[in-house]
């Protein structure tokens, strides 16, 4: 029977709990290599997140000058020098593929690196823990306080803690909406209550979710809500380096004092002195010495904690470290350690990343600011005119991705003596139709191509539409067919 | 439920008793917040049943406290759309046909409106791309029975041809054979003559002089001395390569013998003036407009 059933637990069957009450984790502060890496990454990631909306990028008159902007109403996405239109959303597909592959590659090399170091949930939870520690003290103090009745002083501290948490959460939610509108204007509007209601609603939702997830749910998000641990478990292999307790070296655990006695008598004892520091610092409240487990986000804090202990007692560090079961086996068999970062799996991930990057880069570099697409009329495909000549109709769509109006001329290279006419344009300009394309828009035209035909004409001839910017000389073209009935 | 007192040897925890290929499932209790969230969804569902239509009854259903219905919301949406459209259409209504033709925005609007209305009403006879069929004119070409200017097209759509409307186009192709005006030999001769006008091959023993004479005496009244047709009467041009009913000898003989009187309905009573206007612009822009 499970002995951890607390009084509040509902019993579905006798002795069997239907749910477990939330056990609060009080991780202890720790110093060390991985803690330092985590602090630095947190500053970089949160710094980028909070400040990016305020970075300016000059794009010319009339265009937004925010470096990163998701302009939903106008359906434009700006990312520094890149401006994406809705029909270019395949770039986002590319980004998603890249993100997935990067995640897989990270996992194949070092397990849940994402979870431990980069995941926003980890970053914010860490920040919230830091606030908690600063106000309510470290693990021991908090545990002691939790066991005692509430005092005025503690209540005041708790209010302060929640106030600061809410402020962080609010700033987080606020920063998110800044990516969807001009940041400087929006901040001013928000402060003077002029901003659209939807902005306040989103800030409210994001504030509440950050506060709940980072302040209360914490490790519960990683253990119960996040899909990545499940996917990760299925994707990982035996060579991936994970935070591992090297039981070949640690067991038999033995207290420091006893280990001296036993060693003096020549008996073999492990290096672990059973001080429980690794468990005390763990933000998800697990004991890594029980082996690899779902709850471990691989933040490496237990490595720092154990290293500190090992240094103090004069033993070799990295009793807990990035390692895998293969090496534990090999060491136990007296073989040397073996690391294989290059293996089929990592090669495949890395080359996929390279390929997708190359494709996206090529697409970006060959991207044009004047575009056209041509669609041939399907019904009727060709019309015979009274003088016996043949006319084909096309829907021509022109995209002017520049921030100013421009005049373009439409030419065709098609069947001999073919003439082109744009519906709605005066027939005076029929020789070379000129169109004004408004800035940052698409223009759809109905274009008729007429050609005299004789018996020798082919049933289907290529016709090439060419648009030329009169001012800039930019040219775009597309090919279709001219068919006879 | 059956009792499972299986205890997993390694973890020391009880199992659910489920076993697959020797792998047994630990009985891991869920966290309390998860259970509470689950109960909350159940409560939500019950609230939903009360507020929204939910349960089928024998001949009806529970309508819910809000009396929400998708039909009502569709009707609502349509009304909103109609209103939105009304504003744009009003602009179209005020502009003259030539103004619409010159303004790219209005032209696009009229074309878009015209296209949907055409598909709903006109495509049945003229085809979805307005390519026509035997007896139903192709609206993409430049040959017009009743004229191809914007105004003329509007006129034809509004009142139709031989539609019975007071202002409809009128004009008859006589039944020269049935009514005994021409004999069958003369009809064949004039049919061959008409074919020769547009450069089509004629029968070997065709008497061109007789054809010219018969045409001048009987057909030139409507189709003109030079057979170029007459839009006031809806008499087609017989010298071009476009034939409403077909250009082979047998078809021409049938046409001359029995006459033709295709009907184009009047749309002024069925469609509102703005829609008819948009339709005219659309048809004109198909490519044949003059
Ligand atoms: S076991 Fe170690 S690496 Fe895993 S979450 Fe806990 S402290 Fe981080
Ligand atoms: S911190 Fe190191 S020595 Fe202490 S219990 Fe954990 S593994 Fe053992």
Mean pLDDT by 10 residues, chain B (290 residues): 65 81 84 91 96 92 90 94 88 90 88 93 93 92 91 95 92 91 93 91 88 93 92 91 91 94 92 93 87
Q: Are B169 and B160 in contact (CB under 8 A)?
A: yes
DSSP state of A118: I
Tens-place pLDDT, residues A32-42: 999 999 999 99
User: From CA B93, how far away is CA B87, in angstroms rounded?
Assistant: 10
Residue located via tokens 């186009």: B169
Candidates A2, A387, A424; nearest CB to B107: A424
Using an 8 Å CB-CB cutoff, list residues of chain A that contact chain B. 1-2, 8-10, 13, 16-22, 217, 220, 224, 377-380, 383-388, 391, 393, 423-424, 443-444, 446, 448
Pairing, β B30-31 against β A19-20: parallel
Instruction: Show the tokens assigned to A402.
Output: 């520049």
Query: How far is Cα B25 from Cα B8, in angstroms, rounded to an integer?
Result: 9
Whether the pLDDT of residue A168 is over 90: the answer is yes
Q: Do B107 and A386 touch (CB under 8 A)?
A: no
Q: Is B190 helix (H, G, I), strand (E, B) or coil?
A: helix
Assess B231–A contact: CB distance below 8 Å, yes or no. no
Q: What is the mean pLDDT of residues A150-173?
A: 93
Write the residue in A20, A386, A424 that is nearest to B29 by C-beta.
A20
The CA distance from A40 to B222, in Å, is 94
B14 in A contact zone (CB under 8 Å): yes
pLDDT of res. A45: 93
Task: Specify the residue for token string 């570099």.
Answer: A365
How does residue A11 score in pLDDT terms, banded at 50, 70 and 90?
very low
Q: Is the CB of A68 under 6 A from ligand 2?
A: no
Please spell the DSSP secondary structure of A383-432, one letter per residue: EE-TTS-EEEEEEEEEEE-SSS-EEEEEEEE-STT-EEEETTS-GGGGGS
User: For residues A128 and A310, what is the distance between their CA atoms, to the nearest angstrom?
Assistant: 29
**What does pLDDT average to over chain A?**
89
Query: HSE of B7 in the Cβ direction (CA atoms, 13 Å)?
Result: 9
Nearest CA in chain A to B127: A379
Q: 3-class DSSP state for residue B36?
A: helix
Closest ligand relative to A112 C-alpha: 1
Structure tokens at A22: 């939330």
Residue located nearest, by CA, to atom 7 of ligand 2: A272
Burial class for A465, CB neighbours closer than 10 Å (0-12, 13-18, 19+)? buried
CA angle A300, A302, A308 (to 5 degrees): 110
- Kindly state the tokens that stand for B164: 């019975």
Check whether the bond before A198 is cis (ω within 30° of 0): no
Three-state DSSP state, A76? strand
Helix (H) or strand (E) holding A242: strand A242-245
Helix (H) or strand (E) holding A219: helix A219-220
> Which two structure tokens, joined as six digits, stand for A365?
């570099």
Cα B23 to averaged position of ligand 1 atoms, centre (Å): 27
Find, among A269, A271, A248, the residue nearest to A334 by Cα.
A248
**DSSP character string of A273-333:** ----HHHHH-TT---GGG-S-TT-----HHHHHHHHHHHHTT--S-SEEEE-HHHHHHHHT
Model confidence at A16, pLDDT cuts 50, 70, 90, reads: low
Q: Residues of B with CB below 8 A from A13's CB?
A: 1, 3
How far apart CA A204 and CA A208 sit, in angstroms, is 6
Would you call B144 exposed, middle or buried from its count of C-beta atoms within 10 A (0-12, 13-18, 19+)?
A: buried
A48 CA to chain B: closest CA distance, Å? Answer: 33
- Which of A79-83, A162-166, B166-170 is predicted with the least confidence, judged by mean pLDDT? A79-83
Contact A368, A284 (CB under 8 A): no
pTM above 0.95, yes or no: no
**Residue A9 banded pLDDT, cuts 50, 70, 90:** very low
Q: What is the mean pLDDT of residues A185-207?
A: 92
In sequence order, the 6+-apart residues with CB closer than 8 A to the CB of A116 are A38, A122, A243, A297, A298, A299, A300
- What is the Cα–Cα distance from A485 to A27, expressed in whole angstroms? 80
* Nearest alpha-carbon partner for B278 in B118, B121, B171: B118
Give B124's contacts (C-beta < 8 A, 6+ positions apart): none
In this prediction, residue A266 carries a pLDDT of 83
Would the CB atoms of A385 and B142 count as touching at under 8 Å?
A: yes
Q: Tell me which residues of chain B, numbers 90 to 109, contact chain A at a CB-CB cutoff of 8 Å.
A: 101-102, 104, 107-108
Q: Are B244 and B135 in contact (CB under 8 A)?
A: yes
Confidence of residue A476 (pLDDT cuts 50, 70, 90): very high
Q: What share of chain B is helix, strand, coil (3-state, %, to 5)?
A: 45, 10, 45
Strand ranges (E), chain B: 15-20, 23-26, 30-31
- What helix, strand, coil percent values describe chain A, rounded to 5? 45, 20, 35
Would you state the pLDDT for residue A249? 92
C-alpha A243 to ligand 1 mean position (Å): 7
Q: How many whole angstroms separate alpha carbon A27 and alpha carbon B92? A: 71
% of chain A with per-residue pLDDT over 70? 95
Q: Which ligand is nearest to the CA of A243?
A: 1
SS3 B23: strand
Q: Per DSSP, what are the bridge partners of residue A393?
A: A448
Q: Measured in angstroms, how far is the CA atom of residue A333 from the centroid of ligand 2? A: 24
Buried b (16+ CB within 10 A) or exposed e, A388-412: ebbbbbbebebbbbbeeebebbbbb
d(CA B213, CA B217): 6
> What average pLDDT does this structure show over A3-14?
43
Residue A2 has pLDDT above 50, yes or no: no
Is the pLDDT at A485 greater than 90? The verdict is no
Whether the ipTM is more than 0.90: the answer is no
Question: Which among B77, B42, B46, B40 has a CA at the least distance from the CA of B64?
Answer: B46
Residue pairs between chains A and B whose CB atoms are closer than 8 Å: 93
Residue-wise burial string across B180-210, b where 16 or more C-beta atoms lie within 10 A, e elsewhere: eebeeebbbbbbbbbbbbbeeebeeebeeee
Read off the pLDDT of residues A376-432 as tens digits, 9 standing for 90 and up.
998 889 998 888 899 999 999 999 988 888 999 999 998 888 888 888 876 555 568
With beta carbons less than 8 A apart as the criterion, state whether B279 and B118 touch: yes
Distances (CA, A) of A301 to A28, A305, A323, A412: 10, 6, 15, 68
Q: Which ligand is nearest the CA of A245, by number?
A: 2
């Amino acid at each position: 029977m499970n002995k951890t059933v607390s009084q509040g637990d509902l019993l579905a069957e006798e002795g069997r709990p239907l749910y477990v009450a939330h056990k609060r984790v009080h991780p202890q502060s720790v110093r060390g290599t991985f803690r330092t890496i985590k602090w630095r990454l947190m500053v970089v990631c949160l710094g980028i997140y909070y400040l990016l909306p305020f970075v300016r990028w000059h794009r010319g008159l009339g265009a937004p000058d925010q470096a990163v902007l998701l302009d939903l109403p106008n359906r434009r996405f700006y990312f520094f020098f890149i401006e994406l239109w809705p029909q270019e959303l395949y770039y986002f597909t590319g980004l998603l593929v890249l993100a997935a592959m990067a995640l897989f590659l990270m996992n194949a090399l070092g397990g849940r690196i994402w979870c431990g170091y980069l995941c926003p949930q980890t970053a914010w939870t860490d920040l919230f823990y830091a606030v908690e520690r600063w106000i309510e003290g470290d693990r021991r103090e908090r545990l002691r306080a939790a066991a005692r009745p509430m005092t005025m002083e503690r209540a005041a501290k708790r209010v302060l803690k929640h106030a600061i948490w809410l402020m962080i959460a609010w700033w987080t939610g606020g920063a998110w909406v800044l990516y969807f509108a001009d940041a400087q204007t929006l901040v001013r509007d928000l402060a003077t209550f002029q901003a659209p209601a939807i902005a306040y609603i989103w800030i409210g939702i994001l504030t509440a979710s950050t506060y709940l997830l980072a302040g209360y749910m914490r490790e519960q998000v990683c253990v119960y809500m996040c899909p990545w641990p499940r996917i990760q478990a299925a994707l990982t292999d035996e060579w991936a380096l994970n935070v591992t307790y090297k039981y070949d070296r640690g067991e038999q655990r033995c207290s420091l004092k006893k280990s001296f006695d036993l060693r003096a008598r020549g008996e073999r004892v492990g290096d672990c002195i059973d001080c429980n520091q690794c468990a005390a610092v763990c933000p998800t409240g697990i004991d890594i010495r029980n082996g690899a487990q779902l709850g471990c986000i691989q933040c490496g804090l237990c490595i720092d904690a154990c290293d500190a202990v090992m240094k103090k007692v004069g033993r070799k560090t990295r009793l807990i470290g990035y390692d895998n079961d293969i090496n534990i086996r090999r060491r136990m068999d007296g073989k040397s350690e073996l690391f294989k970062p290059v293996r089929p799996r990592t090669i495949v991930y890395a080359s996929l990343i390279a390929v997708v990057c190359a494709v996206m880069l090529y697409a970006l570099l060959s991207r044009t600011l004047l575009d056209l697409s041509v669609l041939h009329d399907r019904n009727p495909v060709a019309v015979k005119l009274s003088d016996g000549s043949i006319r084909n109709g096309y829907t021509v769509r022109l995209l002017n991705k520049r921030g100013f109006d421009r005049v373009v001329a439409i030419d065709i290279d098609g069947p001999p003596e073919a003439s082109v006419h744009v519906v709605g344009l005066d027939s005076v300009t029929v020789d070379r139709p000129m169109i004004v394309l408004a800035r940052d828009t698409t223009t759809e035209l109905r274009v008729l191509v007429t050609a005299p035909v004789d018996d020798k004409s082919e049933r289907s001839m290529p016709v090439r539409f060419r648009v030329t910017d009169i001012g800039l000389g930019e040219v775009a073209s597309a090919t279709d067919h001219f068919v006879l009935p | 439920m059956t009792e499972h007192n299986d205890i997993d040897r390694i973890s020391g925890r009880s199992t659910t008793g489920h076993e697959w290929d020797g792998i047994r499932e630990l009985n891991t209790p869920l966290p309390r917040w998860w259970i509470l969230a689950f109960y909350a969804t159940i409560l939500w569902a019950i609230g939903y049943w009360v507020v929204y239509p939910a349960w089928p009854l024998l001949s009806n259903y529970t309508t819910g406290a809000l009396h929400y219905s998708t039909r009502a919301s569709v009707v609502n949406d349509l009304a909103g759309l109609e209103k939105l459209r009304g504003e744009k259409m009003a602009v179209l209504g005020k502009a003259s046909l030539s103004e619409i033709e010159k303004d790219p925005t209005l032209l696009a609007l009229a074309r878009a409106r015209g296209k949907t209305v055409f598909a709903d009403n006109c495509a049945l006879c003229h085809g979805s791309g307005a390519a026509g069929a035997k007896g139903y004119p192709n609206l993409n070409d430049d040959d017009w029975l009743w004229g191809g200017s914007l105004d003329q097209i509007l006129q034809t759509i509004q009142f139709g041809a031989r539609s019975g409307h007071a202002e409809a186009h009128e004009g008859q192709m006589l039944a020269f054979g049935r009514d005994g005006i021409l004999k069958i030999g003369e009809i064949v001769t004039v049919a061959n003559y008409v074919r020769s006008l547009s450069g089509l091959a004629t029968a070997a023993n065709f008497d061109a002089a007789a054809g010219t004479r018969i045409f001048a005496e009987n057909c030139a009244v409507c189709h003109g001395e030079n057979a170029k047709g007459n839009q006031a009467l809806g008499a087609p041009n017989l010298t071009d390569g476009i034939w409403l009913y077909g250009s082979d000898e047998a078809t021409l003989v049938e046409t001359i013998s029995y006459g033709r009187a295709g009907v184009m309905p009047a749309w002024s009573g069925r469609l509102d003036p703005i829609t008819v206007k948009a339709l005219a612009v659309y048809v004109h822009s198909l490519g044949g407009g003059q």
